[in-house]
C-alpha cells in the first residue's frame, strides 16, 4: 500500500515543484516504485521530470473530468521506477467545473485508491494556492510536506497553512499528518536565512526536517533540461541535499 505525500504551500516560488520532482526521483533511485502526480495546471513537475507537454496527451484533467483510469494515463520517465501522472493547463478550470459537486474534495483520492497498491510512494505536487486542486491533494494524502523559503514572511505563511490544515483535518481527512517542514533556498551567507531557520526550529521543533535545501544554481538550471538535479548534476550541493531528504523521508516509513 503506497504512502501518499502531498507537497503544498500556498506561497509560490518556495521550491515546491523542485522538491516534488527531486524527492520522487530520489525515492525511485533508491529502488522504490514512485508516481509523481502533477496537480498544478502550470505543469512544471511534468516537464521538469522530462515529460513533453503534448496537446494530445491525456492527463490528470481527463481522469478528474471523465473518470478515466489513472492506470492508462501514467507516463514512464528515464528513471526506471518513476512514473508521472501529467498535468494539463485545463486543470485551471476544475474549480468552475466542480463548483456544484458536493464530493469535489474527494475526486483525486478516489482516482489514486485504484492504483495505490502498485507504488511505494505517490508524491502530489499541489498548486501554489489553497483552491480545489490543493484541497484534493490534501484529502488524498497520508501526509503533508511543506517547503518553506527561509525569508522574512515564512512564519506568516506557515501559520495560515496550518489554520487551513486543521479545518481540512476536521472536515475531510482526519488522518492527515505533517511529514515535515522543509527549509528551502537557504543561503548560509545571510543572517536572515539563519535567523528564519532558527525561528522555525524554535517554533515548530521536530516538525522541521533536518535536511536543508541550499540556494544552488545547478538546482535552478535542471528543470530547463527536463531533468531532476539528481541526474543533471548528481555531485552538486542541491543534489546532495535532495539525496539527504530522500533518506530522511524513507526513515519516516
What pLDDT digit, counting tens, does each position of 191-248 carry?
888 888 888 899 899 999 999 999 888 998 999 899 999 999 999 999 999 999 999 9
10 pLDDT tier (thresholds 50, 70, 90) = confident
For the chain, give the percent of residues with pLDDT over 70.
100
Mean residue pLDDT of the chain comes to 92
37-56 pLDDT, tens digit each = 999 999 999 999 999 888 88
Residue 83 is predicted with a pLDDT of: 98
160 pLDDT tier (thresholds 50, 70, 90) = confident
157 pLDDT tier (thresholds 50, 70, 90) = confident
Quote the distance between the C-alpha of residue 161 and its chain's center. Answer: 15
| Fold topology of 3-252 | Rossmann fold (3.40.50)
123 pLDDT tier (thresholds 50, 70, 90) = very high
Residue 230 is predicted with a pLDDT of: 92
Q: Say how many Å lie between the first and final Cα of the chain, rounded.
A: 12
Can you tell me the mean pLDDT for 167-194?
A: 91
Secondary structure of the chain in HEC code, one letter for each residue: CCEEEEECCCCCCCCHHHHHHHHHHHHHHCCCCEEEEECCCCCHHHHHCCCCCCCCCCCHHHHHHHCCCHHHCCEECCCCCEEEECCCHHHHHHHHHCCCCCCHHHHHHHHHHCCHHHCCEEEEECCCCCCHHHHHHHHHCCEEEEEEECCCCHHHHHHHHHHHHHHHHHHCCCCCEEEEEEEEEECCCCHHHHHHHHHHHHHHHHHEEEEEEECCHHHHHHHHHCCCHHHHCCCCHHHHHHHHHHHHHHHHC
32 pLDDT tier (thresholds 50, 70, 90) = very high
pTM: predicted TM-score of the whole model, two decimal places: 0.95
Amino acid at each position: 500500500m503506497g504512502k501518499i505525500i502531498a507537497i503544498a504551500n500556498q506561497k509560490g516560488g518556495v521550491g515546491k515543484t523542485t522538491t516534488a520532482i527531486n524527492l520522487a526521483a530520489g525515492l525511485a533511485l533508491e529502488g522504490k516504485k514512485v508516481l509523481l502526480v502533477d496537480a498544478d495546471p502550470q505543469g512544471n513537475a511534468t516537464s521538469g521530470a522530462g515529460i513533453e507537454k503534448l496537446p494530445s496527451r491525456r492527463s490528470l484533467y481527463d481522469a478528474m473530468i471523465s473518470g478515466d483510469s489513472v492506470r492508462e494515463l501514467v507516463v514512464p520517465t528515464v528513471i526506471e521506477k518513476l512514473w508521472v501522472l501529467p498535468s494539463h493547463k485545463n486543470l485551471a478550470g476544475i474549480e468552475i467545473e466542480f463548483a456544484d459537486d458536493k464530493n469535489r474534495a474527494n475526486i483525486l483520492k478516489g482516482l489514486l485508491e485504484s492504483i495505490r497498491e502498485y507504488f511505494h510512494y505517490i508524491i502530489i505536487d499541489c498548486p501554489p494556492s489553497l483552491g480545489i486542486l490543493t484541497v484534493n491533494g490534501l484529502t488524498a494524502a497520508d501526509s503533508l510536506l511543506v517547503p518553506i523559503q527561509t525569508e522574512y514572511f515564512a512564519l506568516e505563511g506557515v501559520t495560515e497553512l496550518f489554520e487551513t490544515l486543521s479545518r481540512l483535518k476536521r472536515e475531510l481527512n482526519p488522518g492527515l499528518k505533517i511529514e515535515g517542514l522543509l527549509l528551502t533556498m537557504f543561503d548560509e551567507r545571510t543572517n536572515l536565512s539563519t535567523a528564519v531557520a532558527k525561528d522555525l526550529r524554535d517554533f515548530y521543533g521536530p516538525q522541521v526536517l533536518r535536511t536543508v535545501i541550499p540556494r544552488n544554481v545547478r538546482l535552478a538550471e535542471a528543470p530547463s533540461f527536463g531533468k531532476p538535479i539528481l541526474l543533471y548534476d548528481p555531485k552538486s550541493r542541491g543534489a546532495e541535499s535532495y539525496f539527504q531528504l530522500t533518506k530522511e523521508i524513507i526513515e519516516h516509513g
